[in-house]
Amino acid sequence: MPHHILLVVLGGTGHVHPTLGVVNELTARGHRVTYVTTEAFADSVRAEGADFVPYRSVFETITLPEVVAHEDAETFSRMLFLDENVAMLRAAEAHLDADPPDLVAYDIFPLIAGRLLAARWRRPAVCLSGAFVCNEHYNIWREMTDAQGHRPMAENPVFRQAAEKLLAEYGLAQSVADIFEQPEAFTVAFYPRRWQIRGETFDDRVCFVGPSFSPRRLRPGWQPPAGDRKVLLVSLGSSFNDHPDFFAACARSFAGTPWHVVMSIGSTRPEALGPLPENVEIHPWISFMEVLPHASAFLFQGTVGATMEAMYWRVPLLIFTEFAAEAKPTAERALALGLGYRLSRESIAAGELPAVVERLVADEGVRQRIDRFSAEARQAGGAAAAADAIEAYLRRLTG
């Protein structure tokens, strides 16, 4: 039976991209999908057959580095989190109050918006998570706040009072603390069980489907230059990437080496890097899924989506966590699983990066662990398994 399914997703590549393959599967099976996210992803969402509903993000006028640098970063970031949830909530209500969906599926960031929409329309909900998920034995929200040096979300009084007022408006019985402590009734996680911390303690309330890709992201794209040079992909992600000294040092260290270096430099100005070696190419942005099939190593900050993409293509990781505290829990997980090496600021400054990369790609232990992880990730089923799980959950609820 076809259903109307709503997706509410934060406007960021790491949040949107894992869901697009699921949308492709659901619409191909005859379901109607409405998708709330930012305007930047309108074409991508529509290309998968969904109805697109925009919301205006608070991050259009402020960057994450500015949030982190705020004099009261804890309160400021908490209130931005709440404001972003409210923006998604209001956009979904305005578009769908007269035509509610059968199911509310929400990304891990808009969990307040997702739960309030489900309560408003008295509909079941599913969490779609590219980050670690929670149960009685592990909580990603606690680990994130610890990594940031902040109190738990509900212990910030300004945030708690504003959130309590919002929950009361919708008659939600949960406390603010409960929102971050009690998992959704059903969750789809876009990674294999092995990745989840305390994964053995999770029951069938979580379906681990592995990396999820739209068929469009698996199409060939970027091609390496002619010759037999190995390829290194370098990125600092989409937020904490304005670091010209980092990119310039990486580029200089590979001058005259048998490597071809592809750097995604984000908001860093190209002219700030100075002259580049002939074996280094730069892009403001490039799809990792285009470069990773050709790459021998990947230098990045350790975010989940990028890690899963690298594991899908069996590429060893070189993880540099100096600039993005929010990536540290997942970076530490990749290192604990032996999927790569940690890179220090000192190694870059000393010009040791090429030697570290060579050791990494020659490490048979890393190669064997990645091969095993990649096999499990691919066998988990991806977007098709996610769509299967959502359909099965709806059948259980509707009989």
**Same domain, yes or no: 306 and 282:** yes
Mean pLDDT of the chain: 93
CA-to-CA separations, 385 to 99, 118, 122, 148, in angstroms, rounded: 28, 23, 26, 34
The per-residue pLDDT for range 313-335, each reduced to its tens digit, is 999 999 998 766 677 889 999 99
Considering its fold, how many domains does the chain have in total?
2
Q: For position 292, which CATH number holds?
A: 3.40.50.2000
**Same domain, yes or no: 273 and 307:** yes
**Same domain, yes or no: 178 and 227:** no
**Same domain, yes or no: 302 and 289:** yes
| Residue 375 pLDDT grade (very low, low, confident, very high; cuts 50, 70, 90) | very high
What is the edge-to-edge ordering of all strands in the sheet holding 125-129? Answer: 51-54, 32-37, 4-8, 103-107, 125-129, 187-189, 206-208
The per-residue pLDDT for range 191-244, each reduced to its tens digit, is 999 999 999 999 999 999 999 999 988 887 899 988 889 999 999 876 655 778
Q: What is the mean pLDDT of residues 2-21?
A: 95
DSSP string, 11-28: SSHHHHHHHHHHHHHHHH
Instruction: Map residue 116 onto helix, strand or coil.
Output: helix
Note the pLDDT of residue 373. 97
Where b means 16+ CB within 10 Å and e means fewer, 187-212 reads bbbbbbbbbbbebeebeeebbbbbbb
| Residue 141 pLDDT grade (very low, low, confident, very high; cuts 50, 70, 90) | confident
**Same domain, yes or no: 204 and 228:** no
**Same domain, yes or no: 225 and 327:** yes
Residue 291 has pLDDT above 90, yes or no: yes
Element counts in the chain: helices (H) and strands (E)? 16, 13
**Same domain, yes or no: 392 and 335:** no
Query: How long a stretch of residues is the chain?
Result: 399
Note the pLDDT of residue 241. 59
Q: What is the mean pLDDT of residues 111-123?
A: 97
**Same domain, yes or no: 324 and 390:** no
**Same domain, yes or no: 147 and 92:** yes
pTM: 0.93
**Same domain, yes or no: 136 and 13:** yes
Contacts of 170 (CB under 8 A, 6+ apart): 116, 119, 120
Domain hosting 12: range is: 4-210+380-398
**Same domain, yes or no: 202 and 268:** no
Q: What is the mean pLDDT of residues 55-81?
A: 85
Note the pLDDT of residue 238. 66
**Same domain, yes or no: 183 and 245:** no
Q: What is the mean pLDDT of residues 234-260?
A: 87
Cβ neighbours, 10 Å, residue 286: 18
